[in-house]
């Protein structure tokens, strides 16, 4: 009662303050001296001023009304919580349970300004909106002649009289870090020879150029070469050392160049490293954490070793393109980019409208702050036959690796001919014709012609053949002024620089007349109806393992940064295992390597997949070691007692994996007479209320907090199958409120006396099958032969209805609603075509609509009910589904937890799908996420084949109408679609016996037992909230963001080894005085490298993501205090005042350090929390924060004006990178 009064008084006080503030504003308006005129006469100018003031007042009134509404809602919820009884009663079918509530109420407070993110403000509609383009295109695939997927191109020789055609031929070699061969085998057999030859061959002629993209290969090669080669690549070699260097290089076949200096290849622009990522990543399945991380790893390596900062993006081989990647590249200060694998019908349309080059803008961006200039290659492939012009038969004749006598030839039966004095005129004319035709597809007279393919230039003979023959052609063309052409070798940035110069704009600026595009380029088809939508799901086991490694890497980064900083401040750096940083670096690079577009996609050879899997597991084990060491140090009460023993660590892991292709096995905590301890790490930046599940060896157990207070718990049988319980092993579930980024200590005791965990009850339905069911002692287990009728499970927040026959979900009802929503789940099976073209690792070519999954035997159902959670487990031959309801406020209790163990190893050319059918009137529109970063609207297009309507789902998908939104959140990337009204369909696994003719040469026959994890979230729209017609952008709700975070960043449990603890014991660790605002996500807290790759520096990178969210969905009973921030933050202590930052030249270390002395940005763009600077709080731990990268997904957020920042050696205007805030690298005193 006392708490209720306090809450009521507090709410009333807030309400009074708001009303009094409104009164003061009214008083100020009424007494403004400018409004009083003698005699009551108001000039027209004063009337205009008065009208403006009235409009401002109306806006203020509206905002105050919204604020008061939110205050009222918070007060009502606080009051409701305060009225809760001392014990929360849980009514179950088997008995009544009581669990003590949390001692403090919870509330959600959202600033009205933050709601503008979902509304988006006033934004201009881009000329090219990809959803609209797809709706309007006929996708008719008419034969275009020599350019099969295009059209005939004509031109007049006079077209270039006013302005010469400027051609840049860009030699490149695309090196897959694993595909047909493993990463190491590719390097040994091909890549190292390419790079060795590159050094010598580029030095032979300063006019030569070369483009490279994969830093993973380049770094491995760099570590193996000697100083002379490194000098030739990165810096000038003095003349007196030239002979020695050449002799050293000559041992590897380098011809002595007749120059006085070996000019640096990177510095002079002969060699360009494009994009600068660790790999050329897949853009469908990768999560944005991994995309950012591999980009930082590559950029830091380039800056440290080459002094280079990438300027342009190069993505010729990913199978479709996400709009997240151009955003990240622009934030990394790249100004231009190139893409290739886009649906052939879209390429044709863009070519016909000369829209192949455009400014790529985010759908949620109200202005041009996210724009990046993008070039789309127009033809079928990035190989030489499809890059010089529209006729591959002619272009193939200018691939001089295919000269007669070589290992490859031209499929069109017309081989190349070496260029000689006798034929140069004829050959040049033939090539120029292709150049001119290709240039007609673009808006400028600057032309890009890539010259390369997979693993090209691996032999010196190819370097000679390509460069000598093309140089003869260039010399001839350039010597004929009447041809109006200038041709040369160039890099990608050479091309973009020439284009900007010719258009008279600064690099990265929008050239006049060029279109603006928003949206993405999924799904991709390269010909006919061959849609590359199968790889969204191929090899889901490794897609799931990728996300597990990602979560552990993020947790390890945060704990290592905090622990090493504490150790340095305490003077214990020598005793802390800083060698763990080498394990962190290896894990970063392993995760980065797996983002490669033939790795996470599941499109590599089986032996290569095994190599990836071994790397992933090795890094996962290493990260568990890093986490355990850091947590051990941080929770020790007496830091002087810290001692690491790798063979007998204090903190153990909660699970282990016996092999790279096995599911994890949970650790069983052996309870003894003395207490056992468990250290828990919450990797989220907000406190979380979660149910933690542990396996213990005894059913009678007491759970105590760090202070020795008893905690409520539920004890359940641990099942190994539908009917078999694991003897001597039990599942202990405990509700815990865990601090943000904190470590908590839990105590377990054998509990024959006093309060202990309450047992759950179990009912097993056999459906007439003759099976023996385990009946553990102390647990009520009922075995029922006949199947039940439809039944429901309930919590205080949700009610779920199930089919008694199948055990599958049928409906969901929120307890505060009278009407339930049909959410009917079933499983479907797709076959593949019987014709020549069949589904494979890349392609999804079904034999029609999916058919219902028909089990051989009825399923066994097991229903478990208890005070903290209840669940239904349905066991089928090819999958086991467990659907759980948590009886807990907040994220855990407001959604359904779904776990699916899939095993289709006996399937032949079949694919298993989960189908969800609802009553939501979605009108053919659904939404899928892009890389877990943003949402993209989709529309089911009946004119396209079924497989064309599938899209990647790395994190979530939803359907909605005016009343409800149903969101399916996932912990692994899979393919998803909505093939009917209010439906979602997810492909769970694929087993295919043949290759799909895209170069792999294998089917998908190495399936594993795979556990897919989901959350199903039903939300109701608030009164007055409307779904916009024809949406071009959408956001998840705040609750959906938090649910995804809980799903993808689970609590990490570390049992303490059963041995005597130091006298000071273990203590909880709370690095933050207050959690971050709930619309902020701490993406990473990354310790940066020292000069030695294996050693950490004292500098740490803080990366935050401010999320846009939809305020039109209710968010009650969140279970914790949560507020948003309006983007306004206090300036960190030690910074230099408000100002604007120039952009760093990439994500390299030098770029970060270069701007440290600059002023931080506008406080609205800072990276700190409203109550107290998170940067200041983290500094109290001893962290030296070098920079803070704020990823903005916030329409309407103000951006800084353009400022001048020149690159070294270049005097040109640069756009500032508003997303950076740099914090002084000083340790806390």
Residues identified as active-site: 317
Distance CA 344, CA 528 (A): 9
Buried (b) or exposed (e) across 176-214, using 16+ Cβ within 10 A? bbbbbbbbeebbeebbbbbbbbbbbbbbbeeebbbbbbb
Distance CA 855, CA 871 (A): 22
CB 76 within 8 A of CB 860: no
Contact residues for 585 (Cβ-Cβ < 8 A; gap 6+):
1089, 1093, 1094
Distance CA 1215, CA 929 (A): 29
Distance CA 1009, CA 880 (A): 11
Distance CA 165, CA 395 (A): 18
Query: Could you identify the residue written with the tokens 């894990």?
Result: 587
Distance CA 608, CA 672 (A): 45
Contact residues for 1208 (Cβ-Cβ < 8 A; gap 6+):
none
C-beta neighbour count of 590 within 10 angstroms: 23
Question: DSSP state, 236?
Answer: P
Tell me the pairing of strands 983-991 and 956-960: unpaired
Distance CA 326, CA 362 (A): 9
Distance CA 183, CA 173 (A): 15
Query: Could you identify the residue written with the tokens 């309801």?
Result: 885
Distance CA 41, CA 197 (A): 87
Distance CA 386, CA 333 (A): 30
Query: Could you identify the residue written with the tokens 């009278």?
Result: 818
Using only the alpha carbons of the chain, give its radius of gyration.
32
Q: How far is CA 799 from CA 175, 813, 1166, in A?
A: 53, 5, 42
Q: H-helix or E-strand containing 327?
A: helix 324-331
Q: Is 48 exposed, middle or buried (0-12, 13-18, 19+ CB in 10 A)?
A: exposed
Question: DSSP state, 1023?
Answer: T
Q: Is 707 exposed, middle or buried (0-12, 13-18, 19+ CB in 10 A)?
A: exposed
Contact residues for 250 (Cβ-Cβ < 8 A; gap 6+):
256
Query: Could you identify the residue written with the tokens 């240039």?
Result: 439
Contact residues for 904 (Cβ-Cβ < 8 A; gap 6+):
878, 910, 912, 989, 991, 1007
C-beta neighbour count of 269 within 10 angstroms: 16
Question: DSSP state, 190?
Answer: I
Distance CA 879, CA 399 (A): 51
Tokens of 613: 């899997």
CB 950 within 8 A of CB 844: yes
CB 996 within 8 A of CB 533: no
C-beta neighbour count of 122 within 10 angstroms: 8
Distance CA 467, CA 201 (A): 9
Query: Could you identify the residue written with the tokens 């089911």?
Result: 940
CB 922 within 8 A of CB 959: yes
CB 866 within 8 A of CB 781: no
Cis peptide bond upstream of 557, omega within 30: no
């Amino acid at each position: 009662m006392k708490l209720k009064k306090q809450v009521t008084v507090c709410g009333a006080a807030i309400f009074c303050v708001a009303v009094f503030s409104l009164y003061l504003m009214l008083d100020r308006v009424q007494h403004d001296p400018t409004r009083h005129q003698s005699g009551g006469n108001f000039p027209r100018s004063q009337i205009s001023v008065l009208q403006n003031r009235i409009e401002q007042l109306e806006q203020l009134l509206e905002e105050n009304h919204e604020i008061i509404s939110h205050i009222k809602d918070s007060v009502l919820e606080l009051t409701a919580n305060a009225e809760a009884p001392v014990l929360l009663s849980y009514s179950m079918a088997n008995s009544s349970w009581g669990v003590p509530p949390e001692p403090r109420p919870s509330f959600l407070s959202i600033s009205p300004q933050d709601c503008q993110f979902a509304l988006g403000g006033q934004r201009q509609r881009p000329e090219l909106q990809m959803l609209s383009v797809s709706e309007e295109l006929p996708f008719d695939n008419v034969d275009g002649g020599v350019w099969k997927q295009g059209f005939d191109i004509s031109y007049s020789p006079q077209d270039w009289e006013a302005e010469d055609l400027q051609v840049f031929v860009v030699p490149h070699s695309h090196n897959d870090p694993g595909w047909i061969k493993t990463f190491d085998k590719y390097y040994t057999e091909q890549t190292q020879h390419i790079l060795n030859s590159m050094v010598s061959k580029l030095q032979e002629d300063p006019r030569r150029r070369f483009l490279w993209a994969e830093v993973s290969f380049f770094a491995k090669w760099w570590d193996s070469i000697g100083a002379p080669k490194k000098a030739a690549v990165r810096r000038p070699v003095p003349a007196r050392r030239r002979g020695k260097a050449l002799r050293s290089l000559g041992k590897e076949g380098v011809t002595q160049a007749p120059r006085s200096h070996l000019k640096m290849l990177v510095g002079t622009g002969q060699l360009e490293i494009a994009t600068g990522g660790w790999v050329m990543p897949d853009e469908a399945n990768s999560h944005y954490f991994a995309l950012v991380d591999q980009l930082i790893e590559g950029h830091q390596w380039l800056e440290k070793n080459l002094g280079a900062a990438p300027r342009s993006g190069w993505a010729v081989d990913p199978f479709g393109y996400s709009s997240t990647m151009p955003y990240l590249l622009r934030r990394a200060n790249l100004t231009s980019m190139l893409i290739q694998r886009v649906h052939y019908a879209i390429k044709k349309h863009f070519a016909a409208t000369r829209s192949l080059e455009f400014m790529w803008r985010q759908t949620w961006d109200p202005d041009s702050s996210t724009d990046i200039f993008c070039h789309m290659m127009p033809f079928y492939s990035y190989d030489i036959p499809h890059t010089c012009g529209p006729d591959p038969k002619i272009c193939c004749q200018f691939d001089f690796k295919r000269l007669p006598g070589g290992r490859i030839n031209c499929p069109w039966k017309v081989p190349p001919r070496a260029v000689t004095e006798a034929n140069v005129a004829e050959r040049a004319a033939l090539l120029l014709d292709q150049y001119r035709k290709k240039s007609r597809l673009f808006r400028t007279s600057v032309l890009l012609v890539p010259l390369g393919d997979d693993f090209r230039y691996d032999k010196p003979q190819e370097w000679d053949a390509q460069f000598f023959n093309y140089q003869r052609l260039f010399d001839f063309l350039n010597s004929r002024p009447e041809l109006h052409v200038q041709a040369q070798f160039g890099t990608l940035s050479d091309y973009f620089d020439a284009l900007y110069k010719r258009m008279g704009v600064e690099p990265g600026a929008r050239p006049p007349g060029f279109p603006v595009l928003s949206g993405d380029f999924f799904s991709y088809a390269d010909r006919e109806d061959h849609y590359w939508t199968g790889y969204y799901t191929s090899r889901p086991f490794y897609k799931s393992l990728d996300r597990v490694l990602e979560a552990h890497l993020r947790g390890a980064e945060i704990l290592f940064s905090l622990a090493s900083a504490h150790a340095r401040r305490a003077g214990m750096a020598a005793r802390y295992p800083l060698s763990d940083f080498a394990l962190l670096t290896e894990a970063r690079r392993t995760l980065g390597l797996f983002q490669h577009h033939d790795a996470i996609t599941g499109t590599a050879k089986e032996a290569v997949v095994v190599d990836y899997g071994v790397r992933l597991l090795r890094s996962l084990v290493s990260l568990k070691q890093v986490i355990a060491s850091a947590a051990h140090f941080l929770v020790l009460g007496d830091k002087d007692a810290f001692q690491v023993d790798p063979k007998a660590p204090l903190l153990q892991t909660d699970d282990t994996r016996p092999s790279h292709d096995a599911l994890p096995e949970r650790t069983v905590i052996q309870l003894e007479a003395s207490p056992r301890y468990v250290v828990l790490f919450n990797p989220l930046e907000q406190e979380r209320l979660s149910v933690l599940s542990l396996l213990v060896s005894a059913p009678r157990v007491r759970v105590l907090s760090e202070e020795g207070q008893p905690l409520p718990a539920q004890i359940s049988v641990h099942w190994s199958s539908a009917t078999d319980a694991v003897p001597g092993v039990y599942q202990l579930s405990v509700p815990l409120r865990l601090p943000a980024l904190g470590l908590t200590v839990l105590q377990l005791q054998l509990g024959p006396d006093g309060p202990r965990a309450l047992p759950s009850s179990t009912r097993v339905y056999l459906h007439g099958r003759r099976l023996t069911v385990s009946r553990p002692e102390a647990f009520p287990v009922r075995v029922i032969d006949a199947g039940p009728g439809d039944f429901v499970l309930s919590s205080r927040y949700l009610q779920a209805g199930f089919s008694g026959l199948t055990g599958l979900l049928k409906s969901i009802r929120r307890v505060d609603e009278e009407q339930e929503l049909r959410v009917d789940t079933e499983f479907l099976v797709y076959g593949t075509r019987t014709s020549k073209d069949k589904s494979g690792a890349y392609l999804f070519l079904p034999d029609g609509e999916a058919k219902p999954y028909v089990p051989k035997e009825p399923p066994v159902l097991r229903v478990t009910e208890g005070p903290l959670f209840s669940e239904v487990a349905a066991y089928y031959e090819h999958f086991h589904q467990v659907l759980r309801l948590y009886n807990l406020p907040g994220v855990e209790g407001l959604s359904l937890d779904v776990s699916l163990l899939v095993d289709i190893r006996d399937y032949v050319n079949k694919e298993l799908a989960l189908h969800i059918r609802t009553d939501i009137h979605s009108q053919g529109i659904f939404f899928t996420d892009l890389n877990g970063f943003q949402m993209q609207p989709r529309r089911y297009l009946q004119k396209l084949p079924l497989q064309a309507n599938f899209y990647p789902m790395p994190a979530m998908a939803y359907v909605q109408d005016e009343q409800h939104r149903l969101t399916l959140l996932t912990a692994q990337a899979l393919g998803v679609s909505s093939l009917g009204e209010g439906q979602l369909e997810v492909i769970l696994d694929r087993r295919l016996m043949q290759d799909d003719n895209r170069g792999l040469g294998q089917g998908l026959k190495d399936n594993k037992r795979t556990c897919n994890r989901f959350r199903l979230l039903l939300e109701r729209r608030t009164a007055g909230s409307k779904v916009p017609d024809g949406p071009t952008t959408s956001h998840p709700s705040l609750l959906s963001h938090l649910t995804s975070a809980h799903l993808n960043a689970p609590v990490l449990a570390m049992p303490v080894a059963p041995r005597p603890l130091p006298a000071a014991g273990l203590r909880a660790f709370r690095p933050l005085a207050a959690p971050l605002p709930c619309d902020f996500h701490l993406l990473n807290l990354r310790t940066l490298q020292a000069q030695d790759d294996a050693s950490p520096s004292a500098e740490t990178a803080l990366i935050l993501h401010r999320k846009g969210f939809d305020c039109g969905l209710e968010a009650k009973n969140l279970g914790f205090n949560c507020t948003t921030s309006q983007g306004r933050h206090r300036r960190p202590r030690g910074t230099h005042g408000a100002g604007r930052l120039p952009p760093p030249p990439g994500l390299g270390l030098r770029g970060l350090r270069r701007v440290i002395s600059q002023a931080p940005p506008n406080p609205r763009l800072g990276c700190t929390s409203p109550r107290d600077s998170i940067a200041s709080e983290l500094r109290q731990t001893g962290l030296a924060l070098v920079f803070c990268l704020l990823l903005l997904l916030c329409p309407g957020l103000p951006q800084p004006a353009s400022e001048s920042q020149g690159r070294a050696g270049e005097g040109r205007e640069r756009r500032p990178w508003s997303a950076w805030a740099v914090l002084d690298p000083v340790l806390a005193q």
